[in-house]
Structure 1
Amino acid sequence: MTAVTTWFRRLRGIVNVGFAGYDSEMSAMNATIGYNLKNAVTLVAPYKVVYADVLFSRGYLDLPNAPEVETGTAAKGKFIFLRGGAVRSALGYNLLVPADFSGDHVQVYLSFESADGKLVSDSLYLGDHIVV
């Protein structure tokens, strides 16, 4: 279980925003870990994160109807997340990743945050993609 908790703690920057309002009686990180241990981790050794069930944020903003990933690492143990990458009305965004990600499988998620930072959407898993 320590590895699972460590995995989520490495995402502190995003979950501190995404789960900030989830439970007023606990920190955003504790709420994230609690939610995901219950919903996104196999509870039989070896413990595994079920990427499709992971949530980094819980909120009320609407998600897009049919988001797409045109090109697409967990193997490298790296995370890339970007706050304020694009305004929603742009309808797209190209994320630059390190060149050594080329050919790697990556897990892709999407979430939204209001301009004032007070509201978020649920995060949405967009699948496993290969970086080209």
Structure 2
Amino acid sequence: MGILKSGINGPVRNKTGSSVARMHRNINVVTGAYRKSNKPPTALQLEAQAKFSLLSSFLGSIDDLVKTGFKQYSKGKDPINVASSYNFNHAFLVDGTDFTLNYPELVYSRGYIVPAESPGVLTLPAQIGFNWLPQRQSTYCRYTDLATFLIYNPAKKMAFRRALVTDRYAQGHLLDVPPNFAGDTVHCYMSFASKDGKLQGNSIYVGELICV
């Protein structure tokens, strides 16, 4: 039996007919009761499920970056789900019935802070170096903005990141990468945030390289 607490505008709980009421993130939600379908999933449904699983695996491996980077766009929703929805339409490279992640198009952060100017990456023994050009200061581009770096290894499905480790003025940063990354192709990203961490910027794809 469904229960209306404090009248029709108050919180509700339990099942009423074909509807189920529950509290989700401090919001009263009423949904239809789950009905198991005996119909097998279509090819399009299976493809969508596989794509969602692949994208979720990537975003889940950097959930700390995503939760911070998409927080201001979530408005009570799960930032991982918001990031998945934002990325989904451009997240894949399709070749017939096969598909892979389109790494240069993936985004883990969005915001007003200006991204790095002409960023680049280079590989060194057990290290990856990021660099970028100097930029004129403005409201959303300060020398004190802090950089976050992400290195993703598809072969091992591992993400190596360092958050807020150097400022924009430094124009470069060296990262020590895990020894077992040697010989693997990795994808590199970076983003800036304000010094106090309250404002984020768009993450950008910097490049692909092979670790040595």
Report the TM-score, using the length of structure 2 for normalisation. Answer: 0.57
User: Which structure 1 residue ranges, 5 or more long, are not aligned?
Assistant: none
The 2-side partners of 1:68 and 1:131 are apart by 15
Give 1:1-132 correspondences, 5 Å limit.
1=50, 2-42=53-93, 45-71=97-123, 72=128, 73-132=153-212
- Return the offset for 1:25: 5.0
Report Cα offsets for 1:77-101 as digits up to 9, x if no partner: 1101111211221111100011121
Counting aligned pairs with the same residue, the percent is 31
Distance change (3 Å), C-alpha of 1:23 and 1:45: farther
In structure 2, give the amino acid aligned to 1:127.
G
Report Cα offsets for 1:49-74 as digits up to 9, x if no partner: 10011000011111122111122511
Runs of 4+ in 1 over 3 A off after TM superposition: 42-47
- Return the offset for 1:42: 4.6
Instruction: Indicate if the aligned counterparts of 1:105 and 1:131 stay in contact, CA closer than 8 A.
Output: yes
Judging by fraction of residues, say which structure has more helix: 1
User: Which structure 2 residue ranges, 5 or more long, are not aligned?
Assistant: 1-49, 129-152
- Return the offset for 1:30: 1.1
RCO comparison, higher one (Cα < 8 Å, 6+): 1
Report Cα offsets for 1:88-124 as digits up to 9, x if no partner: 2111110001112122110000111112111111010
Judging by fraction of residues, say which structure has more strand: 2
The 2-side partners of 1:30 and 1:94 are apart by 32
Comparing 33-42 with 89-98, which one deviates more in the overlay?
33-42
**Larger Cα-atom Rg:** 2
The 1-side partners of 2:116 and 2:57 are apart by 30
Distance change (3 Å), C-alpha of 1:26 and 1:42: farther
